[in-house]
Amino acid sequence: MDAPSKAGATRRFGLIVIGDEILSGRRQDKHMSKLIELLNERGLSLSWAKYVADDPKQITATLSASFASGDVVFSTGGIGATPDDHTRQCAALALGTKTELHPTAQELIAGRIQSMAEGDPIKADLNTPENQHRFKMGEFPIGSEIIPNPYNQIPGFRIREHHFVPGFPVMAAPMMAWCLDTHYKDLFHQENWAEQSFIVPMGIESTLTPLMERIEANFPGVKVFSLPSVGDATKGGVYAQRHIELGIKGNANLLESAWIALRTGTQELGYEIHDIT
């Protein structure tokens, strides 16, 4: 069973994306942007993300570290039954246990086989080598719980606050949403999080850094961010030239005074500021 949830303010959410196809560029990762969206909708945020090749040693080392972190982690990819799918076995190895066929997963996979057979008794025979191989997708680390898959019923699994879902975004997204809504609802919207920013045309980060450091020192709980840009002629206006997007984020109740101080301090350095519309 998972450890009891910590206070929402201390929980970190992480993402591990597994697959050679992501690292080689054959496919573009869509999991991180979707998980960020799902978390933000619930008043949560993503703390870190890692991309890992289909290499058992690398996967095991990554999972060993993340299991030890105490973070809530989503892992995508590598839970099928082809030779390059190593995640299930690596998760077990990282936990010092073995995999076994989960009884509920066995039932769900058997049901999928039957539905796909469409009445063909040969395709529906669960004892054929092909169908026996499909049951490997239900072999999870001992102690795992099922994550339902509404797309094709082949489940993922969760253990030690790690949630393992397929590499296909159409399957992974609803499964990640289910995990959040089922297991972490008590963490939703615990903080009144807000973010504000403005544009500083021709801003120089080295000039603005002391101001940023002063704001964070004077207003605990507020983070200052700086996003420099070389400019984009297609956008026009202040966005066409070199600029910095300067802003603050944190609990909305803490931002008002910090916001005024950031704007005033930027103007005192001789910069114009332009509000983002």
Domain limits, the chain: 8-187, 193-275
Gap between the Cα atoms of 206 and 64, Å rounded = 39
pLDDT of residue 6: 39
pLDDT given for residue 7 in this prediction: 40
Q: Which residue has the tokens 């054929």?
A: 128
Which helix (H) or strand (E) segment holds residue 228: the answer is strand 222-229
* Average confidence (pLDDT) per 10 residues, the chain, 277 residues: 45 96 96 96 94 98 97 97 96 98 97 91 92 96 98 97 97 98 93 89 96 96 94 87 94 92 97 91
| Stated pTM of the model | 0.81
Q: In the CATH scheme, what architecture does the domain 8-187 have? A: 3-Layer(aba) Sandwich (3.40)
Asked if CATH classification 3.30.70.2520 holds for the domain at 193-275, the reply, yes or no, is yes
**What is the per-residue pLDDT for 258?**
96
Instruction: Single out the residue of 179, 171, 239, 234 nearest to residue 203, CA to CA.
Output: 239
What local confidence, expressed as pLDDT, does residue 8 receive? 43
Q: Radius of gyration of the chain from Cα atoms? A: 24
